[in-house]
Structure 1
């Protein structure tokens, strides 16, 4: 601040606002416009949106803001995944690989996300559609798409063919050889039903089952086992490599032995069942005994099956004392092969005590 000299010769300081009156002439103040002018200016201005003057949000907007951003569910759901994939693939379509070739007819359906569903697009009649995309109001909808239930329906009952009967002129024994056991059984049942008196004659003339075909089958399968064994003298015939060569023949031998015994048990020829047990036991005993105990499973299962057949025949059959004594003596010779023979021995001894 510049100092000023007073007439008294003293010096005083000028105030800061002393020069303001000199600068007041430079200030220009626009006079206030009347209220009518402001109203006219507002009419000529462009209109503002309705929500501009009221910043308060609507109730729906407040709910959306409180809800926050949509998050994926914690647990996976195929419906949600399918909707998300369908919304993504609704605008993306697979272009044709080769326009020159004949492409499958275009369908007005949305492409699926899985390759399996895309492959089904070539078949017009088997296009899988979701329920929301099928127009069930249209009458021709079932004809366009094969809409079936996911539950498999029961298969149709197969019509039984009527067996033709021929007037055979040749020998009756020759004709019977071409029939299966089931056909023979049905034929005899039909004849005995029409002529009840013939049934008694058939029972009197019925022989015991012939076990020679069963024995030939067992002998053939046993020979296959020994043919598969190594023939060199320097190699063992009871080790694991030898077992691996004949394991298939051992399984076939056991299967045949069990099936033949079941047929005799179902026929209820109990005396023939006991004879088959003693016959087949000798063939099982002749099979090789392997070094590894686990490889002897087929042998043990054969012995166990034969003992079950024998025990069933002893329980359901009627045997005289001489036959039971013979059975007891033979079972004593089988103890060394299987310890389960003692069960049959106890049952035979109990039957002998009743006589």
Structure 2
């Protein structure tokens, strides 16, 4: 510790904290007082630091004050106020139990689906839980008026006009333009007016021409073979080959059955038997597939032809020579399908009856 020299010239020592009491005045704490003006207590701060002066624009806005309604009423101002509030105002949610359609004048934030059907609110049916079926007028309330036009009403068929008497062309040329139904109706009307012509027409009626039927079967069979793969390294009877020809096989089977039904309905029994032998040869010529389920349509064709043949044998009046010819052909067909044995046995029984 350093010593302080006295005026008398002697040295004496002093404590290290001897001067601290002199500095305690600066460390005294005054009690809290309410601040009335911060600027008075902090004179060193700039005047606009704590509360900056308002800008001229802000002072102008404060002087203007809140916008007030005019004293005099004007319809234009009232209309603008009403339209403004109708657009800005958010519509309240529907209370439970109230099912009112949304108003078209209010802009709603919704999904595109809701916006599309907003204008068709009248046509939106309620769910089954919300429909009161006890009300008698409920069906009339919820009738839907679809914007899509429905099917037009069926027009009454106009009476078919007969050929003008002034037609000078050949008769066979005019008959070519008629459908089978029109020809049948015309001949029926003529025989009804002139009964004596019916026997003459029966004598002149030829047997059905099977050439167009055979031509169609040949065309469909060729389509089956054209659809098969042509490469020598691939099989023509496996599953991939069948998948390529399945469409043509279905068309072939459909034609075989439909043509046979037309002949059965016409009751030309001899022509039915001839068609059975003709179509059988074409069905036999179709491919036999490696996978047995793929041969189902082939078996269906044989079964349908067997039914046609049995119907012709039962309902037709066949002579002995025709039955012998049928018997010989049926025996050669047994190897293709066992179902044909029933026709063979029935033919043999008819031949025994004719002896």
* TM-score calculated relative to the size of structure 1: 0.62
Separation in structure 2 between the aligned mates of residue 91 and residue 330 of structure 1, nearest angstrom: 79
Q: Identify the match of residue 159 of structure 2 among 154, 162, 176.
A: 162
Q: What CA deviation, in whole Å up to 9, does each residue of 1:281-300 have, x standing for no partner?
A: 10000000000000001110
TM-fit CA distance, 1:99: 3.5
1:304 paired with 2:314, answer no
TM-fit CA distance, 1:273: 0.2
Q: Secondary structure at the match of 1:323?
A: helix
Separation in structure 1 between the aligned mates of residue 353 and residue 260 of structure 2, nearest angstrom: 28
1:217 paired with 2:216, answer yes
Show the 5 A alignment for 1:35-54. Answer: none
Separation in structure 1 between the aligned mates of residue 214 and residue 324 of structure 2, nearest angstrom: 24
Separation in structure 2 between the aligned mates of residue 133 and residue 342 of structure 1, nearest angstrom: 66
Aligned residue number for residue 313 of structure 2: 314
1:256 paired with 2:264, answer no
Separation in structure 1 between the aligned mates of residue 311 and residue 113 of structure 2, nearest angstrom: 56
TM-fit CA distance, 1:218: 0.1
Structure 1 runs not aligned, ≥5 long:
1-85, 101-114, 149-154
Q: Secondary structure at the match of 1:231?
A: coil
- The CA RMSD over aligned residues, in Å, is 3.6
Deviates more, 1:239-248 or 1:162-171: 162-171
Aligned residue number for residue 96 of structure 2: 88
TM-fit CA distance, 1:164: 1.4
Between Structure 1 and Structure 2, how many residues are aligned? 247
Q: Is the 8 A contact 1:222 1:253 kept in 2?
A: yes
Show the 5 A alignment for 1:215-294. Answer: 215-294=214-293
1:123 paired with 2:116, answer no
TM-fit CA distance, 1:169: 2.3
Q: What CA deviation, in whole Å up to 9, does each residue of 1:8-48 have, x standing for no partner?
A: xxxxxxxxxxxxxxxxxxxxxxxxxxxxxxxxxxxxxxxxx
Deviates more, 1:196-205 or 1:310-319: 196-205
TM-fit CA distance, 1:216: 0.1
Aligned residue number for residue 173 of structure 2: 174
Separation in structure 2 between the aligned mates of residue 197 and residue 145 of structure 1, nearest angstrom: 64
* TM-score calculated relative to the size of structure 2: 0.62
TM-fit CA distance, 1:90: 2.4
Aligned residue number for residue 78 of structure 1: none
Structure 2 runs not aligned, ≥5 long:
1-93, 146-151
Q: Is the 8 A contact 1:222 1:287 kept in 2?
A: yes
Q: Is the 8 A contact 1:261 1:276 kept in 2?
A: yes
TM-fit CA distance, 1:135: 10
